[in-house]
Amino acid sequence: MIYFDNAATTSVRDEAISAMLRVMQDKYGNPSSMHLMGRRAASELSAARYSVATAMGAGADEVFFTSGGTESANWAVFGMAELRSHRKKHIITSAIEHDAVFNCFKRLENKGWSVTYLEPDSAGRITAECFADALSEDTAFASVMLVNNETGAINPVGEYSDAIKRRGLKTLLHTDAVQGFCKIPFTIKSLGVDLLTVSAHKFHGPKGVGGLYIRKGLNIAPQLLGGGQESGKRAGTEAMPLVAGFGEAARLGLIEMKETSERVRKLREFLTNRLAETLPEAKIIGEGDSPYVLTVSLPGYKAEILMSYLDGEGICVSKSAACKKGARSRTLENMRLSNEIIDGAIRVSFSRDNAIEEVEELIQALKRAAETIIRI
């Protein structure tokens, strides 16, 4: 099996599995309990929080664990809306956000908020000029992703923050950094955001755990009520095995980020060059800011059929985002690509586990597919 769907999820690295097993077997106490086993679990919780915070350049007291990127994004958007509901009613997002953010804005729009949906340029980016032009005195908050999950386009989030500060606005800024965390270099300071979303399973941690950075002093209300876990911000006993795996993946991901990024960049460049040689009709979508994602189209073919063919060859890719489950890509549509290019687009996403030999096998399988499948 050759796996090129790492933007959907990655394999869990051995070190994270070991951390999870250690907690399940030896430190299984509730971290809120005051006895020895509880204190041992609390120590693991603190260590994981420190690792995640360090990887994003935040304080440990600014990072809160959740069940994943979706919960974190929902908490950020609805929390900002609640915090700003008494004064301003204009908000900003992009037309190419992940549904975990986009659908929150749609709900707020249905409740009377005025929403500006920023359109991407031809490379799939939301430019700083586009963001700045949308800002007004009434803009309560904004949320634009750091790295697009379909094209790999990196948005200039730090420049968005600069635009807010230049205007002297009190606009809150959130970014979905799920596809960027431990993959591209950034810090909370360099982005200038108030809130930031991450998810463990995108960089070799376990599924079911994520995090939300909340700037110190920003009183975002909890969305889950119950006990006083996570400093009273998020109720529910922490999923300690998952948290431990998350922390270990973040610790090692930060250490290895530069080396892994260079390795993955070589894979992407090799695929791009070999496609040009072997399948000159193939179209690369976007400019590939992030080396981890490449969307390629074979115009005249159906992505679903290409995916099925590759699946039969033991190669896993996806069509747009995995969570779309076959629906047409909103991102590619908003890039104003032709229907033929959109319908023939597949996403290839890399990780530290992939090799040049696997990329060559993908190229040869795509070549066979183009020779075998009837064009539409």
Q: Could you say which of 130, 182, 316, 323 is catalytic?
A: 323
Tell me, rounded to whole angstroms, the distance of Cα 62 from its chain centroid: 19
The helix-helix angle for 99-110 and 69-84 (nearest 10°) equals 30
Instruction: Let me know if 37 is exposed, middle or buried by CB neighbors in 10 A (0-12, 13-18, 19+).
Output: middle
The rounded distance, in Å, linking the Cα atoms of 71 and 74 is 5
Question: How would you label 192-207 residue by residue, b for 16+ Cβ within 10 Å and e otherwise?
Answer: bbbbbbbbbbbbbbbb
Q: Assess whether 323 carries a catalytic annotation.
A: yes
> Which pair of structure tokens corresponds to residue 141?
């908050």
Look at residues 163, 114, 106 and name the one whose alpha carbon lies nearest to residue 135: 163
Q: Which amino acid is at 359?
A: V
> Which pair of structure tokens corresponds to residue 309?
């063919």
Q: What are the residues whose beta carbons fall under 8 Å from the beta carbon of 37, sequence distance 6 or more?
A: 27, 28, 29
CA angle 9, 12, 13 (to 5 degrees): 135
> Which pair of structure tokens corresponds to residue 250?
């973040």
Phi, psi of 44 (to 5 degrees): -65, -40
* Residue count (the chain): 376
The rounded distance, in Å, linking the Cα atoms of 90 and 183 is 32
Q: Which residues are catalytic?
A: 323
